[in-house]
Amino acid sequence: MKTNYWSVDKNVDKKESYSQIEQAADLLKRNEVVAFPTETVYGLGGNAKEDAAITKIFAAKGRPSDNPLIIHIAKLEQLDELVENVPTTAQKLMETFWPGPLTVILEKKKGALSEVATAGLSTVGIRMPNHPVALQLIEQSGLPIAAPSANRSGKPSPTKAIHVKEDLDSRIAGIVDGGPTGVGVESTVVDCTGDKVVILRPGGITKEQLESVVGEVKIDQALINKEIKPKSPGMKYTHYAPNAPLFLVEGTKEKIQLLIAEEKQKGHTVGVLTTEENKAFYQADYVYACGQRTDLSTVATDLYDGLRSFDHHQVDIIFGEMFPTEGVGQAIMNRLMKAASHQVIR
């Protein structure tokens, strides 16, 4: 399959950009799948109403079909045709954080969506992305768009169009390049079907931000105990992993340097995932500075690009620093733990 490639102005304020988005939207209407930028990561979009389109998403990603997909909308009016009701807590969260990196789990309306897209569940995750290109594409397609991250299953999520091309070229109908994404980690997923809001996946909206709007917010036990089956889209299987094994290290940078030296003595090529503050300290074959420790939002933005970069440098083993779990740090550590298959050196 030939993959079409369109480069568009991020702000979609130039008329020449619209024709490219129209071409991509036309492919979506024909049940083809197209990658597009959101404010979090690049998504792989397909018509959420049609099994044919959803099957192509799973096939392109190599993703198990028992993993539900998040549905993206461009206008609040689209909610009425997709869900049964919107609880007050969900309404407050949407008013505050939409468009933005928040996915809300609600009771779905029977027959409104492909059963394949929702993995046969009675609920569905909906979000309205905060990216002009994404919103224009969804609006011009006239469809709710199912879209997981636009990468091969298990690999780090794509934050640049080149990442999508590396993973999915010739496997999908098109890639809309709207430049690098901003947030860098996926949306926060919250279940609003119960008495309390429950975080199923930490992401771009923090627990503290949610609680400022709706009071106490609980955390899904699957985020704490890896033996419990997660409920959230995109959290069920190993994710975000570079080719080389990643070990997170709880301790000082001096301790990490000792581990580097031991591996180099064995003849191994060693990579380190660190931040700008510590980059110059490490004597390794490849050192990636993932933002600044004093501003964890920069770490989130650079995280997946950093994890992908180790593959290009063909390292044998990677040691990664750990981060505080306050604010967006919770999402960063969630992704790093999954990338490391929970391998922590203490």
The answer to the question of whether 346 is labelled as a binding residue is no
- CA pair distance 148, 105, nearest whole angstrom: 15
Assess whether the previous peptide bond of 132 is cis (omega < 30° from 0).
no
Element holding 137 (H helix, E strand): helix 132-141
Residue 131 and residue 139: Cα distance in Å, rounded?
Answer: 12
Q: Say whether 127 counts as a known binding-site residue.
A: yes
DSSP state of 215: S
C-alpha span between 188 and 145 (Å, rounded) = 18
Establish whether 90 is an annotated binding residue: no
Please report the beta strands in 157-206, taking only residues with DSSP state E, as ranges in sequence order. Answer: 174-177, 188-191, 197-201
The response to whether 103 counts as a known ligand-binding position is no
Give the Å distances, CA to CA, from 189 to 18, 104, 281, 296: 31, 6, 37, 20
Instruction: List the structure tokens of 49.
Output: 């109403």
Rounded to whole angstroms, the Cα distance separating 35 from 227 reads 33
Q: Is 335 labelled a binding residue?
A: no
Backbone angles phi, psi at 341, to 5 degrees: 50, 35
Reported in sequence order, the residue ranges of 139-267 that DSSP labels E, i.e. its strands, are: 145-146, 174-177, 188-191, 197-201, 217-219, 246-249
Q: Is 201 annotated as a binding residue?
A: yes
Q: Annotated binding residue at 157?
A: yes
> Is there a binding annotation on residue 63?
yes
Q: Is 122 annotated as a binding residue?
A: no
Identify any residues that bridge with 44 across adjacent strands, giving them in sequence order: 35
Report the chain's C-alpha Rg in angstroms: 20
Q: Do the annotations mark residue 85 as ligand-binding?
A: no
Long-range contacts of 166-170 (CB under 8 A, 24+ apart): 166/308, 168/3, 168/35, 168/44, 168/60, 168/61, 169/3, 170/1, 170/2, 170/3
Annotated binding-site residue numbers for ATP: 63, 67, 123, 149, 157, 201, 240
Positions at the binding site:
40, 63, 67, 72, 123, 127, 147, 149, 157, 187, 201, 240
List residues forming the annotated binding site for L-threonine: 40, 72, 127, 147, 187
